[in-house]
Amino acid sequence: MLKPSLIPARLVSGRASVRGAPGIAIEGGMRIETVPQSARVSPLAGWGRYPRIASEILSVHAPDEAAAGIAGREGVIARGLGRAYGDAAIGACGTLIMTRLDRVRSFDPATGRIEVEAGVSLDRILRDFVPRGFFPPVVPGTRFVTVGGMIASDVHGKNHHCDGGFGAHVETLTLMLPDGSHRTCSRERDAALFFATIGGMGLTGPILGAAFHLRPIETGWITRRTRVATDLAAVLAGLDATADSTYSVAWIDCLALGKDLGRGLIFRGEHASRTELTRSDRHRDPFPEARTGRLGIPFDCAAPTLNRMTVKAFNALYYRRGAKNADGPALVPWHNYFFPLDGLSNWNRLYGARGFLQHQCVVPPANASSVLAEILGRVARLGSASPLAVLKQLGPSEGMMSFPVPGYTLALDLPATPSAFTLLDEIDRVVVATGGRLYLAKDARQSRTTFEAGYPNLAAFQALRRDLGAERSTASHLSTRLGL
Amino acid sequence: MDRTNVLLLVGATSDIGHAVALRYARAGWRILLTARDPASAARNGDDIAARTGASVEILRLDITDTGGFDAFVSGLTPLPDTVVCAVGELGDQGLAQSDAGHAANVIAVNFTGPALLLGRLAEAFERRGTGTLVGISSVAGDRGRGSNYVYGSAKAGFTAFLSGLRNRLARSGVHVLTVKPGFVRTRMTRDMRLPPVLTAEPQEVADAIFMAAQERRTNVLYVRRIWQLVMAVIGAIPEPMFLRLRL
């Protein structure tokens, strides 16, 4: 188990300098050092900024360059926008930067079918296609992810209980095999490889492209209904009662204790129709544009920015404001409903330079209320929890290593302090004992025991990786840490 | 607008060219792309068409084949409203010093080709009395430096050509815009360590070009204004001192 005290030893600052590298300057007066691709080494971290580990950087600018990127190399993983929280997108040796593979290959407005390169961002898709009346079938909590990353993590959205994860909507995906060849697979063709790649954390090889359908929408607005839940039982009952809503999610005040334990707000949502929009009696733009970068955290905050007092105050305020607006429907722009945190760029810096841990588990419905109460109780007692605790219902998923199973998922952030590591180890034991598991895309620290207990398909996945020859060629720090 | 505006983007496989064409397509323009090998531009052409629903056509054009320019320009129907020339090749300064063929190619791709093509288009625009010509030059042309003077001198020539063309067409209704992007994160600069403050993304360059070309007030566009200062400082260094620098 990695403890925060070990971080400095693993931290590599700056890029490795290359002796004898030819220097050239093209523009301006500055002398720019050119570095052969093979020698660029840079420290990488996930969104949680823990851990930070040096990896060789290999960037891909065209689909046919990917093969050269991994030829003869071992331990390479594809990386998109780096929104996995932990070490999933840090290559064991090399990291393939996929964000320049960002072209849309085709789009059919009659059917909504879109074919893209894997590095295209969800943000770009939304900004191009929402104004044209289309919305992705599933979106996670941030729009700054790539399609490749969404497939590799089989991300879920607020509609998982109805529509499944993003993987459920992927028709075909193209993968690069260890020999550099491209393989397109689907539910009908190479199904085993297809289902191993969905949720497979990039470990079956770099995903190069995919095809899926966007859904038609009449407007870019969401009709949101807020319901107040005064304790955990009310939150769970509320989520069950809103299972017929397309989108639903609960925010939990994870610092509330005693009779308030688990109190929260439930947000339901539906895509608003044209009629609803015009009825709302304002001259609203039917397809509001997402603003970017208006607010941001320009530097690492001092560690105590998010402490028991500030978070408690924020939570109380947020809860009261939600309660005031409850019941009646409200029309909110799509980006406010789905991606509230994207409005604050670099919010991960709120936790300071030491970084933070996100813990996301899913627990089966049977003992959910007692298990979740125990988790929330422990977190509330520790007192260093974040304002970002989210609870939602999940349905089943198809991917061999996909995270979602039927039940409730709870996500919370904790600063990466020694006491948080200890607390999360205890929580993991509770989760595993009830038949739950942790989300790999969020993970930076779970133990192999926890992981193995949560993912019964592990052996089959390892065998598939062996047969594919991907075991050596493809590896991330997550996969080496967990023996994936 | 009773008719769809048409953009001719010369150099469709360049990252800046792709971003520029995408920007115009988003604004509802019809897009004509050129590439030496149309198949190699299909990736960018398909992307622009799929994202925006714009009509995108790829034309074959070799920027070094100056003899073919008249036929190319007379074959353009309709004549585009705006032309952006984004072709360019850094080349290898060391090789250019010893290999005249390589140096000649760098000069042809960065200067003679773009200048003569825009010159032909300028004639047609002048006859029509409207149009915008955008040439993507470089801050490297502001002062020749030991490390890249073949590329730099070609860009200097292009900058001077655009300046003269603008002067000549000043009262004709045709606007000429010179763009000096500074560092841009593209395939051309992929292996370089670029200082973030001085480095723009292709999309940023595209937005700046679109805005300046539509407003028709800017003549020389430094995408990041700090470059104007940087180049003014470099330009002001007295030659004896400049000779002692390795730039």
Q: What is the 3-state secondary structure (H, E, C) of chain A?
A: CCCHHHHHHHCCCCCCCCCCCCEECCCCCCCEEECCHHHCEEEEECCCCCCEEEEEEEECCCHHHHHHHHCCCCCEEEECCCCCCCCCCCECCEEEECCCCCCEEEEECCCCEEEEECCCEHHHHHHHHHHHCEECCCCCCCCCCEHHHHHHCCCCCCCHHHHCCHHHHEEEEEEECCCCCEEEEECCCCHHHHHHHCCCCCCCCCEEEEEEECEECCCCEEEEEEEEECCHHHHHHHHHHCCCCCEEEEEECCCCCHHHCCCEEEEEEEECCHHHHHHCCCCCCCCCCCCCCCEECCCCCCHHHCCHHHHHHHHHHHHHHHHHCCCCEEEEEHHHHHCHHHHEECHHHHHCCCCEEEEEEEECCCCHHHHHHHHHHHHHHHCCCCCCEEEEEECCCCCCCCCCCCEEEEEEEEECCHHHHHHHHHHHHHHHHCCCEECHHHCCCCCHHHHHHHCCCHHHHHHHHHHHCHHHHECEHHHHHHCC
Give catalytic residue positions of B. 151
Cβ of B192 and A35 within 8 Å? yes
Asked if residue A263 is part of any domain, the answer here is: no
Smallest Cβ–Cβ distance between A31 and the set B181, B227, B246 belongs to B246
Last residue of a domain, one of A97, A119, A143: A97
A-chain residues near B14 (CB < 8 A): none
Q: Give the CATH number of the domain where residue A150 resides.
A: 3.30.465.10
Which of B137, B139, B147, B153 should be substituted to probe chain A, the one whose Cβ sees the most A Cβ atoms within 10 Å?
Answer: B147
User: What is the least distance, in Å, from the CA of A61 to any CA of chain B?
Assistant: 7
User: What is the least distance, in Å, from the CA of A33 to any CA of chain B?
Assistant: 6
- A92 and A109 part of one domain: no
- A91 and A116 part of one domain: no
A-chain residues near B43 (CB < 8 A): 62-63, 103, 105
A-chain residues near B148 (CB < 8 A): 24-26
Cβ of A29 and B231 within 8 Å? yes
Which positions 84-103 of A are in contact with B (Cβ < 8 Å)?
A: 103
Cβ of A103 and B148 within 8 Å? no
- Which regions of chain B are under pLDDT 50? 1
- A40 and A144 part of one domain: no
Residue in A closest to B228 by C-alpha: A28
User: What is the least distance, in Å, from the CA of A27 to any CA of chain B?
Assistant: 5
Residue that is written with structure tokens 């929104």 in the block = A83
Which positions 13-32 of A are in contact with B (Cβ < 8 Å)?
A: 15, 23-32
Asked if residue A141 is part of any domain, the answer here is: yes
Asked if residue A160 is part of any domain, the answer here is: yes
- A93 and A108 part of one domain: no
B-chain residues near A23 (CB < 8 A): 147
Residue in A closest to B93 by C-alpha: A24
Pairs of CB atoms within 8 A across A/B: 92
- A31 and A87 part of one domain: yes
Asked if residue A482 is part of any domain, the answer here is: no
pLDDT averaged over 10-residue windows placed end to end, chain A, 484 residues = 34 32 38 51 94 93 84 92 97 95 97 98 96 97 97 97 97 95 96 98 97 97 94 94 92 86 92 90 82 68 69 82 81 93 83 90 94 90 75 96 97 90 95 97 97 97 96 96 95
Smallest Cβ–Cβ distance between A29 and the set B138, B192, B234 belongs to B234
Asked if residue A41 is part of any domain, the answer here is: yes
Residues A235-275: tens digit of each pLDDT: 999 999 988 999 999 999 888 888 888 899 999 999 999 99
Residues A68-94: tens digit of each pLDDT: 878 888 999 999 999 999 999 999 999
Q: Count structural domains, chain A.
A: 2
Residue in B closest to A128 by C-alpha: B51
- A86 and A148 part of one domain: no
Last residue of a domain, one of A97, A119, A145: A97
Cβ of B246 and A33 within 8 Å? no
| Inter-residue contact A405 to A364 (CB < 8 Å) | yes
- A172 and A151 part of one domain: yes
Residues B24-58: tens digit of each pLDDT: 999 999 999 999 999 999 999 999 999 999 999 99
- A56 and A118 part of one domain: no
Question: From edge to edge, which strands make up the β-sheet containing A437-438?
Answer: A329-333, A221-229, A264-271, A247-252, A389-394, A407-415, A356-363, A437-438
Cβ of A33 and B193 within 8 Å? yes
Cβ of A103 and B138 within 8 Å? no
- A58 and A139 part of one domain: no
- Ordered domains of chain B (ranges, CATH): 6-243 (3.40.50.720)
| Inter-residue contact B131 to B174 (CB < 8 Å) | yes
Cβ of B47 and A104 within 8 Å? yes
User: What is the least distance, in Å, from the CA of A259 to any CA of chain B?
Assistant: 52
Last residue of a domain, one of A97, A114, A145: A97
Asked if residue A58 is part of any domain, the answer here is: yes
Q: How many CB atoms lie within 10 A of CB B233?
A: 11
ipTM confidence = 0.90
- A14 and A82 part of one domain: yes
Which positions 123-162 of A are in contact with B (Cβ < 8 Å)?
A: 124, 128-129, 132
- A41 and A139 part of one domain: no
Asked if residue A154 is part of any domain, the answer here is: yes
- A116 and A20 part of one domain: no
Is the preceding peptide bond at B78 cis, omega within 30 degrees of 0? yes
User: What is the least distance, in Å, from the CA of B165 to any CA of chain A?
Assistant: 24
Asked if residue A477 is part of any domain, the answer here is: no
Smallest Cβ–Cβ distance between A30 and the set B46, B51, B195 belongs to B195
Residues spanned by the domain of A210: 104-217
Cβ of A132 and B53 within 8 Å? yes
